[in-house]
Amino acid sequence: MPDHRLSFSVYVVQCSDGSFYTGISTDVSRRIIEHERTTKGAKYLRGKGPLKIIFEREIGDRSLALRVEAKIKKLSRPDKGDIRKLGVLVDSYVTELI
């Protein structure tokens, strides 16, 4: 049975080819290692390392983190790459979705 008290974070990584990947995790560092070194990582990221975490924000419960992740994925490439703007947008998404 999943532990619903876990706090989820949303993260954005930049791949070696310049593309961005957005995900959620309870432990972003562990998840990045999984992406880079194991078959548990996203297929999209295979062969695209090294990965650079450009944004990470603790969100709260899984449901909210998934909704924020979906909104980030809809952003334009320039918006995903602008860390300050991304932070402001994520804060507004969290406020809007609570």
The CATH number given to whatever domain includes residue 38 is: 3.40.1440
pLDDT over 60 at 9, yes or no: yes
> What does each C-alpha distance from 72 to 3, 6, 22, 23, 65 come to in angstroms?
25, 21, 7, 9, 10
- % of the chain with per-residue pLDDT over 70: 96
pLDDT digits (tens, 9 = 90+) for 45-80: 998 989 999 999 999 999 999 999 999 999 999 999
Tell me, yes or no, whether 1 lies in a domain.
no
> Once rounded to an integer, what is the mean pLDDT over residues 1-27?
89
- At residue 4, the pLDDT reads 57
Tell me, yes or no, whether 83 lies in a domain.
yes
Interatomic CA distance for residues 9 and 59, integer angstroms: 5
Count of the separate structural domains present in the chain? 1
Tell me, yes or no, whether 2 lies in a domain.
no
What predicted TM-score, i.e. pTM, was given to this entire model? Answer: 0.90
- Cross-strand partners of 9: 25, 58
Tell me, yes or no, whether 57 lies in a domain.
yes
Q: Which domain holds residue 63?
A: 8-97
